Amino acid sequence: MITILNTNFHEGYKVMKVTRILIMALLVAVGMTAAALGQVIPTNVWTDFGGTSCTVNGNPMPIGSIVQAFDQTGVLCGQRFTATAGTYIATSVYGDDQFTPGVDEGCVMNEVITFKINGITASKLGPASDQWIGSGPIQLMNLATVQQFSINVTGPDEGSGEIGDPVEYVVTVENNGDGIDWINLDLFSSLGWTISHNQGSNSFYLNPGETKQIIVTVFVPGTATVGQQDELTISVTSLFDPSADFNKVITTTVDQSTDVADGGYAIPGQFSLGQNYPNPFNPETRIAFNLEKAGDVSLEVFDILGRKVSTLQSGYLGAGQYEYTWYGVDNSGRQAASGIYFYRLSSNEFTLTRKMTLLK
């Protein structure tokens, strides 16, 4: 019975290995490798490495740092996100095994390993050897790097919105440093207005030179007055080096309402979004818009807190006039509650938002 179980295990392992090879071949076919995607391919042989006194710029390696191990051909064969300052533990560095001859999955016996912290080649301080030895005790390898941290944020300086309406700003965060950075995003309203963003999380990694576009929405409250101004402060800080931060301030001015009988407004070139009809509505309402040119277009409904309720359109549309009906249900088919909602039309170049009211 034991022999049969072992045989089944090895046969299953071989099937798994063949599947991985096919996936790798597909990735190579589209110009990507597992290493480029930051993926480690586990094998049945490895050496565990760890370090307890690792530094970045002479200070303990920050929590959230990425420790990576590469073989001499540049294959990523080990990776660890650090949970304790200055320390990475039990990081498995994988080697080639006998099931996939001719495929470079990692290290071979006595191969010298290259370590990186946050994408920058690290100095190896030992005390253990930097050679891959296969199965054995954990090899203590302390590491040190010097890394530059720098962040930049760009976006508009000002904007305007009507009382009770959301105002959207597109800001770009750029990692100007020389290594991978873990970045934190904070938003502040000088008047305490509700603010949201489309990232889901306030922290994210950026490679050197990489940028991330973030849509920030400021909700002008119904209690605002015409001419009132709020200062939105976008604070972006490196979680690896708090001294690397950047603040961007955007001033939002409350405008007089410009609603007219047809409720429509447009950006020159006939990209326009009409007021829903009827409004208020129950149980359904129609939303019309015009597209000057073809492209990817989304039409989405949000509640008063900026949470997505329903997606009416997502994908490619040709130039022309369109009309969609919202039946007052969310993406799960549940009836939405009475209240104020916002519908947003987005293309590659423009975003327009309008308000509607569901009454029951």
**Helix ranges (DSSP H) in 30-69:** none
**Which residue type, as a one-letter code, is found at position 124?**
K
Can you give the CATH number for the domain in which 349 is found?
Answer: 2.60.40.3080
Can you give the CATH number for the domain in which 133 is found?
Answer: 2.60.40
Q: Which letter does DSSP use for residue 79 in this model?
A: E
- Inside any domain, residue 173: yes
3-state secondary structure of 198: coil
- Count of domains forming the chain: 3
**Which residue type, as a one-letter code, is found at position 97?**
D
Can you give the CATH number for the domain in which 191 is found?
Answer: 2.60.40.10
The verdict on 276 and 197 lying in the same domain is no
Q: How high is the pLDDT of residue 268?
A: 43
Backbone angles phi, psi at 38, to 5 degrees: 75, 30
The sign one gets for the Cα dihedral 208, 183, 48, 16 is negative
The sign one gets for the Cα dihedral 197, 200, 205, 206 is negative
Q: How far apart are CA 46 and CA 276, in angstroms?
A: 62
Chosen domain end from 98, 114, 145: 145
- Inside any domain, residue 2: no
Instruction: Please give the chain's pLDDT, 360 residues, in tens.
Output: 222 233 332 333 333 333 343 333 333 333 332 333 468 888 888 999 999 999 999 999 999 999 999 999 999 999 999 999 999 998 999 998 766 666 777 888 889 999 999 999 999 999 999 999 888 889 999 999 999 999 999 988 888 888 888 888 889 999 999 999 999 999 999 999 999 988 878 899 999 999 998 989 999 988 888 888 999 999 999 999 999 999 999 999 988 654 433 444 444 456 788 888 898 898 899 999 888 888 899 999 988 877 899 999 999 888 888 889 999 999 988 999 998 898 989 887 777 888 899 987
Name which of 146, 157, 175 is nearest 246 in CA terms.
175
The verdict on 243 and 270 lying in the same domain is no
Q: How far apart are CA 303 and CA 253, in angstroms?
A: 22
Q: How far apart are CA 276 and CA 343, in angstroms?
A: 9
Q: Which H helix or E strand runs over 10?
A: helix 2-29
CB count within 10 Å of CB 348 equals 8
The verdict on 222 and 293 lying in the same domain is no
The verdict on 119 and 72 lying in the same domain is yes
Q: Which letter does DSSP use for residue 15 in this model?
A: H
- Inside any domain, residue 322: yes
Q: How high is the pLDDT of residue 8?
A: 36
Q: How high is the pLDDT of residue 99?
A: 66
- Inside any domain, residue 7: no
Q: Counting beta carbons within 10 angstroms of the beta carbon of residue 107, is it exposed (0 to 12), middle (13 to 18) or buried (19 or more)?
A: buried
The verdict on 235 and 315 lying in the same domain is no
- Inside any domain, residue 94: yes
The verdict on 132 and 159 lying in the same domain is no
Calculate ∠ Cα 72-67-93, nearest 5°: 50
- Inside any domain, residue 64: yes
The verdict on 243 and 276 lying in the same domain is no
- Inside any domain, residue 70: yes
Q: How far apart are CA 82 and CA 62, in angstroms?
A: 8
- Inside any domain, residue 185: yes
Q: How high is the pLDDT of residue 218?
A: 92
The verdict on 237 and 295 lying in the same domain is no
Q: How high is the pLDDT of residue 231?
A: 94
The verdict on 269 and 340 lying in the same domain is yes
The verdict on 138 and 155 lying in the same domain is no
The verdict on 125 and 164 lying in the same domain is no
From residue 354, alpha-carbon distances to 10, 216, 255, 309, 327 in Å are 60, 16, 14, 15, 17
Chosen domain end from 231, 255, 279: 255
The verdict on 241 and 172 lying in the same domain is yes
Q: How high is the pLDDT of residue 298?
A: 93
- What domain range includes position 164? 151-255
In contact, 339 and 358? CB cutoff 8 Å: yes
Chosen domain end from 103, 127, 145: 145
Strand order in the sheet with 211-219: 151-154, 166-175, 211-219, 194-197
Name which of 311, 303, 305 is nearest 356 in CA terms.
303
Q: How high is the pLDDT of residue 97?
A: 76
Q: How high is the pLDDT of residue 319?
A: 83
Strands in 179-319 per DSSP E: 181-189, 194-197, 203-206, 211-219, 229-238, 245-255, 265-267, 271-273, 285-291, 295-303, 308-317
